[in-house]
Amino acid sequence: MSWIPRTLVRSHCGARASGQFCQTLTVTDVGSGWTEVHALLNNAHRWVKEQIIQTRENLPFPMLGIDSDNGSEFINHQLLDWCVQNKIKFTRSRPYRKNDNCFVEQKNFDVVRKTVGYSRFEGAKALKALAEVYRYLNPLLNFWYPTMRLIAKEKLPSGRYKKIYEKDPKPPYMRLLESPFISDECKADLRGRAALFNPIELKHKMDKARERLLKLSVIESNIPSRKFY
């Protein structure tokens, strides 16, 4: 099995889009739901490429392609040249067609906003704190947090569509272990990774890291308050 992830960059600018602020790179596999989030100092081409390279190295199976949105952080020569050199297929969503990237767009709230909120984070200290949160969040997402996968759409007489989800939510880790397309070596690697983590300890460390992150920024007055989960 190969990995052709959807990618998206999400801003942590608070109420102001001016100046420089941290970003989150979200990478999601449609088939398994495997998701990784990475902290960026800003949306410079260099940081995006470096984190995609890091993501590729962390995967338990090969990355054969990238499907991105239309932001300049992805549509640039640095990332394209790297993809060509490494024989990675590079595609993008259609302009003004947000649903093309719906599988990664939904992670914006479910993963990023529910975890770190809507504050403005900027500078090296905030970047380090955000990266620490994601260090603990990524294994929780992929090994222990179950997700419901969309398996079909049914057109109703009204012309609208009904989404049909699988009945048994599973974490991406379990989907990969059950997949006939994953090699025994990859499955052994996944089991070895899972054995290194304690989910209770990870959750405790992530909550502490999030507290440290939120102390570095103040939610601006015209941004509605949100609950953290």
25-81 pLDDT per residue, tens: 999 888 888 999 999 999 899 999 999 999 998 888 888 898 888 888 888 999 999
In this prediction, residues 186-209 reach a mean pLDDT of 96
pLDDT at 171: 95
pLDDT digits 0-9 by tens, 113-136: 999 999 999 999 999 999 999 999
Confidence of residue 227 (pLDDT cuts 50, 70, 90): very low
Q: Which residues pair with 35 in a beta bridge?
A: 28
pLDDT at 4: 65
In this prediction, residues 148-168 reach a mean pLDDT of 84
pLDDT at 155: 86
* Alpha-carbon span 229 to 113, nearest angstrom: 10
Cβ neighbour number for residue 78 with a 10 Å cutoff:
15
pLDDT at 83 over 90: yes
Phi and psi at 122, nearest 5°, equal -150, 150
The full set of domains in the chain, from first to last, is 6-147+198-214 (3.30.420.10)
Among 119-133, 135-149, 156-170, which is the least confidently predicted range?
156-170
* Alpha-carbon span 193 to 222, nearest angstrom: 42
Q: Which residues pair with 25 in a beta bridge?
A: 9, 38
- Grouping H, G, I as helix, E, B as strand and the rest as coil, residue 218 is coil
* Alpha-carbon span 206 to 137, nearest angstrom: 7
Asked if residues 32 and 19 have their Cβ atoms less than 8 Å apart, the reply is no
pLDDT at 87: 92
Share of the chain above pLDDT 90, in %: 53
Say which DSSP state 175 is in.
Answer: H
pLDDT at 144: 95
- Grouping H, G, I as helix, E, B as strand and the rest as coil, residue 123 is coil
Mean pLDDT of the chain: 87
Confidence of residue 1 (pLDDT cuts 50, 70, 90): very low
pLDDT at 16: 85
pLDDT at 173: 95
Asked if residues 127 and 50 have their Cβ atoms less than 8 Å apart, the reply is no
- Grouping H, G, I as helix, E, B as strand and the rest as coil, residue 31 is coil
